Structure 1
Amino acid sequence: MRTRFLAVLALVALLVVAVAGCGQSGPQSGGEKKVPVVGVTQIVRHPALDLDYQGFVDQMAKEGFVDGETVKIIFKDAQGDPNLAKTIADQFVADKVDAILSITTPSSQAAAQAAKGTGIPVVFIAVSDAVGAGLIKEIGKPTGTNITGVYSADPVEQQMDLIEEVVPNVKRLGLIYNAGEDNSVSNANRIKAYVKNKNWQVIEATVTGTSDVQAAAQSLVGRVDAVFVPQDNTVIAALEALLQVCRTNKIPFFCGDTESVKRGAIGTVGNDEYDCGAQGAEIMARILRGEDPGTIVPQEIRKRVLLINKKAADAIGLEIPKSVLERADEVIE
Structure 2
Amino acid sequence: MMKRRAFIGVIAGGLLTSPAAEAQQAGKVARIGYLSLGTATTNAALLKAFLEGLREHGWIEGKNVAIEYRWEGAEKSALDALAAELARLPLDAIFAVTTPAALATKRTGTTLPVVFAAVSEPVAIGLVDSLSRPGRNFTGLTTINRELMAKRLEVLKETIPGLARVGYLANPGYEVHKLQLVEMDAAARGLGLTLHLAEVRAPAEIAGAFARMAAAHVAAFIVQQDDLFVANRALIIDSAVQRRLPGMYVFSLYPRAGGFMSYGANAEDLYRRAAGYMDRILKGTKPSALPVERPTKFELVINLKTAKALGLTIPRTLLARADEVIQ
TM tier relative to shorter chain: 0.7 to 0.9
Rounded Cα–Cα distance in structure 1 between residues aligned with 2:30 and 2:278: 11
**What residue number does 1:157 align with?**
150
After the TM superposition, which residues 1-333 of structure 1 pair with which residues of structure 2 at under 5 Å, given as runs? 33-45=27-39, 49-116=43-110, 118=111, 120-139=112-131, 141-154=132-145, 155-223=148-216, 224-333=218-327
Which string of whole-angstrom CA distances, capped at 9 and with x for unpartnered residues, describes residues 7-44 of structure 1? xxxxxxxxxxxxxxxxxxx9999x96321100010122
Which string of whole-angstrom CA distances, capped at 9 and with x for unpartnered residues, describes residues 132-161 of structure 1? 22211223x222221111111122221111
Rounded Cα–Cα distance in structure 1 between residues aligned with 2:22 and 2:184: 56
- Given the superposition, is the C-alpha separation of residues 194 and 47 from structure 1 closer, same or farther in structure 2, using an over 3 Å criterion? farther
User: Secondary structure at 1:254's aligned position in 2?
Assistant: strand
Contact 2:38–2:73 under 8 Å retained in 1 = yes
- Given the superposition, is the C-alpha separation of residues 142 and 127 from structure 1 closer, same or farther in structure 2, using an over 3 Å criterion? same
The runs of 5 or more residues in structure 1 that have no matched partner are 1-25
Letter in structure 2 aligned against 1:125: A
- Given the superposition, is the C-alpha separation of residues 184 and 56 from structure 1 closer, same or farther in structure 2, using an over 3 Å criterion? farther
Shift of 1:71: 0.8
Rounded Cα–Cα distance in structure 2 between residues aligned with 1:291 and 1:252: 45
- Given the superposition, is the C-alpha separation of residues 246 and 84 from structure 1 closer, same or farther in structure 2, using an over 3 Å criterion? closer
CA RMSD of aligned residues (A): 2.3
Shift of 1:321: 0.3
Shift of 1:289: 0.6
Contact 2:42–2:231 under 8 Å retained in 1 = no
User: Secondary structure at 1:39's aligned position in 2?
Assistant: strand
Shift of 1:49: 4.9
Contact 2:244–2:310 under 8 Å retained in 1 = yes
Rounded Cα–Cα distance in structure 2 between residues aligned with 1:161 and 1:181: 24
Rounded Cα–Cα distance in structure 2 between residues aligned with 1:325 and 1:184: 31
Shift of 1:79: 2.0
Rounded Cα–Cα distance in structure 1 between residues aligned with 2:318 and 2:41: 25
Q: Which moved more, 1:46-55 or 1:186-195?
A: 46-55
Contact 2:74–2:232 under 8 Å retained in 1 = no
Rounded Cα–Cα distance in structure 2 between residues aligned with 1:47 and 1:28: 35
Letter in structure 1 aligned against 2:84: D
Which string of whole-angstrom CA distances, capped at 9 and with x for unpartnered residues, describes residues 238-266 of structure 1? 33333333323332222111111112222
Letter in structure 2 aligned against 1:301: P
The runs of 5 or more residues in structure 2 that have no matched partner are 1-15
Rounded Cα–Cα distance in structure 1 between residues aligned with 2:22 and 2:245: 63
Which string of whole-angstrom CA distances, capped at 9 and with x for unpartnered residues, describes residues 207-257 of structure 1? 111111011111111421111112222133333333333323332222111
Which string of whole-angstrom CA distances, capped at 9 and with x for unpartnered residues, describes residues 273-319 of structure 1? 11101110001100101111111111112211110111101001011
Contact 2:167–2:220 under 8 Å retained in 1 = yes
The structure number with the bigger radius of gyration is: 1
Letter in structure 2 aligned against 1:151: T
- Given the superposition, is the C-alpha separation of residues 72 and 115 from structure 1 closer, same or farther in structure 2, using an over 3 Å criterion? farther
Shift of 1:67: 0.7
Rounded Cα–Cα distance in structure 1 between residues aligned with 2:317 and 2:77: 46
**What residue number does 2:8 align with?**
none
Aligned length: 304
Q: Which moved more, 1:157-166 or 1:244-253?
A: 244-253
Rounded Cα–Cα distance in structure 1 between residues aligned with 2:210 and 2:41: 21
User: Secondary structure at 2:108's aligned position in 1?
Assistant: helix
Contact 1:210–1:237 under 8 Å retained in 2 = no
- TM-score, normalised by the number of residues in structure 2: 0.87
Contact 1:213–1:235 under 8 Å retained in 2 = no
Letter in structure 1 aligned against 2:114: V
- TM-score, normalised by the number of residues in structure 1: 0.85
- Which has the larger helix fraction? 1
User: Secondary structure at 2:140's aligned position in 1?
Assistant: strand
**What residue number does 2:13 align with?**
none
User: Secondary structure at 2:253's aligned position in 1?
Assistant: helix
